Amino acid sequence: MRRGAYIAAAFLAANLCTGFHGSAQAEPYELIGAIGVETAGPFRGVKSDRPKPAVYGYAEYVRGDVVLGLFANPVYIQGERNALVLGYAEWRPSIGFAELQLGGQYYAFPDSSDFTYDLDGDGVVDHSGRKGLFEAKAGLQKKFKGGRLRLRVYYTPDGFAETGPAWYGYGEARTEIAHGFEARATFGVSRFDDLRYNENYADYSVGLFKSIGGFDLFVRYSDTAGLSGPDNRAVIFGVERFFTLASSGRDERRRYRKIINDWRIDKSRLRGVR
């Protein structure tokens, strides 16, 4: 797990050096902060019952092709209510027909105890592991007139509670519709090496998004397929407000507002959160 964190830190430092070095004229940049709330916070389709509503905040820095971010919200896991802190870094170079997206992210739960598994229900802990994990990610994004298509894959060498390698494939389509509304649809597939602790399944969602007076509003339907346990069907309402904290110029603020939430964060971070 620590190795993953070191890789993420090295990636972040390398890209910062690239962004600040090499040309006399500095790359344009944007630093924003955002706060939001939604009625439920599913992570990859899996609902979180508590806390409700889900409140979150994040800061994001964009300089040239580099994106750095820090996200935080409270989560309720195995009887504990703890803070989740997610740090992420991406490099987004253009490759002609599309935008390439490469990066990593680390999920941290400060002061949280290990997550324990009692697989046979006999009262004896069969496995215990730390909640934090590192994910590498890679993808492509293609923008069209009035829309966008994104494909991504995520990989962790040791998943939630140290339960082994896992993959997540994800696709999202967006299109503008009448009166400033945007429709979005997503589909994802989760695959795990060790099925004693996790189940392979799919998730999907559809929703409507609209910006009004500086607020981003949305309603979406989310569900899973192939996953046992509680029903994950959910209709979710949310609102988010972002603030420009620093910018290289007014033109960059306008540019950034067009790409805000390109990396849409799932608000409740981990499978098994109840």
3-state secondary structure 54-83: EEEEEEEEEECCEEEEEEEEEEEECCEEEE
CA distance 239 to 267: 12
- The DSSP bridge partners found for residue 141 are 99, 150
Structure pTM?
A: 0.83
The CATH architecture of the domain made up of 2-116+128-259 is Beta Barrel (2.40)
Domain spans of the chain, in order of start: 2-116+128-259
From first to last of the 274 residues of the chain, give the pLDDT tens digit: 444 454 445 444 445 444 444 443 568 889 999 999 999 878 899 887 666 788 899 999 999 899 999 999 888 887 788 889 999 999 999 998 899 999 999 999 998 899 998 888 898 999 999 999 999 999 999 998 889 999 999 999 999 999 999 999 999 999 999 988 999 999 999 999 999 999 999 999 999 999 888 899 999 999 999 998 888 999 999 999 988 899 887 554 444 443 334 434 443 334 333 3
